[in-house]
Amino acid sequence: MTRATWWAFAPGAVALALSCGRADAPAPAPSDAPTPAPTPAAAATPKPGPEPAPKPAPTPTPKPAASAVALAPVTADALRGDVTALADDALAGRGTPSAGLDRAAELLAARMGAIGLVPVVGEAFPTRVDCSGSGSPDAANVLGLLRGSDPGLAQQVVIVSAHYDHLGRGTEAGSDDVIFNGANDDASGVAAVLAIATALRGAPRAPRRSVMFAAFCGEELGLRGSRAYVDAPALPLQQTVAVVNLEMLGRADPQHPRRAWLTGSDRSDLGDVFVERGRALGIEFVDGSVVGALEGQLFGASDNWPFAQAGVVAHSISGGPIDPQYHTVDDEADRLDYDAMAPIVAAIADATWTLADRDAVPRWREGAAPG
């Protein structure tokens, strides 16, 4: 999430919800008194009456259908490996621009190639753009494509994105650590992008529409990488049916470990797909406002926003609430819960495949589009 968001909203204290059990009431002690014999009137045989009509059986709630294809699994180990590589001290916090960020772009390009994606622009996955406001290309957006399987729909695209930059080096009161590693914000989102690409690439067939996987630079400086893409899109925005942006998925809410939240989900029907597909996999997708007041105000705080301003249905998805490690030197790879993260990412992969394969495309609700 952007530095501006950090200054605008200070994370609140983490509230712990305590639950307590209720002991069942003890059964009454049996009585030693003999049971009185019934009176003749009480013992009389009642007159037969009509039998009550049987109650109709309740109609079972239909379960969402399974995916049309089996996706490759999302594993905690793979997520841990990608987060650990991106949040390593050797990358010095991936500030924009920096040698560490360039090294991260090389790592991502190698991963996209190994997964089997193809470059979107030319023959290279990284695309240099002005990501700091310097006026010249100084960092890269990293873009990889999974081509759709339907010749009539493959020109349309769903974008799955995350930002791979963070805050770089700095000082923090009370700490000797000078590297803001950004494990949850947002190496976790980038690891999820790679995991979803792997899941879709490993399916028996690609979805009918194409899926572009994007790692944006300069988010922490004001969404600069995603704005640069929207200003000069590699694929036409008119053919971009949705953007699923991933932010901070690595620390699920301990009270709701199988829950994720969308920013501004009431603005479009995109969230309906995630709710349905999540239900099939035991993952609950809710609006950010359900998680907290701060989380309910973040629709315009990440890389979905430039796309939404351009008319593309675009939302961000996160795991747990904003926590005390956000934008601190304590946001380290060993503080993430990869076992809780994996099923959430698997559900996002399932919903992404559905978005890219179904006939309908997401729509803004009436009067809810930005602008």
Q: Which two tokens stand for residue 156?
A: 């349309």
Of 46-55, 194-203, 347-356, 362-371, the range with the lowest mean pLDDT is 46-55
Question: Which tens digit of pLDDT belongs to each residue from 259-318?
Answer: 999 999 999 999 999 999 999 999 999 999 999 999 999 999 999 999 999 999 999 999
Rounded-to-integer distance, Cα 305 and Cα 311, Å? 10
Number of helices (H), then strands (E), belonging to the chain: the values are: 10, 11
Give the H or E element holding residue 341. helix 338-357
Q: Quote the CA–CA distance of 240 and 156 in Å, as a whole number.
A: 6
C-alpha 86/C-alpha 270 separation (Å) is 30
Closest CA to 96 of 269, 219, 228, 272: 219
Note the pTM of the prediction, 2 decimals: 0.84
Under a CB-based contact definition with an 8 Å cutoff, are residues 273 and 350 in contact?
no
DSSP class of residue 23 equals P
Q: Which residue has the tokens 């079972």?
A: 60
Neighbours of 290 (CB within 10 A): 15
Q: Is the Cβ–Cβ distance between 255 and 312 less than 8 Å? A: no
Q: What pLDDT, in 10s, does the model give residues 313-346?
A: 999 999 999 999 999 999 999 999 999 999 999 9
Please state, in angstroms and rounded to a whole number, the distance separating the CA atoms of residues 2 and 9. 11
**Parallel/antiparallel/unpaired status of strands 179-180 and 168-169:** antiparallel
Q: Which residue has the higher pLDDT, 24 or 73?
A: 73
Q: Which residues of 140-173 are buried (b: 16+ CB within 10 A; e: fewer)?
A: bbbbbbbebbbeebbebbbbbbbbbbbbbeeeee
Phi and psi, residue 199, nearest 5°: -60, -45
Percent of the chain with pLDDT over 70: 82
Identify the weakest region by mean pLDDT among 26-40, 170-184, 187-201. Answer: 26-40
pLDDT at residue 107 is higher than 50: yes
DSSP string, 238-305: GGEEEEEEE---SS-BTTBTTEEEETTGGGBSHHHHHHHHHHHHT-EEEEHHHH-TTGGG-TTSSTHH
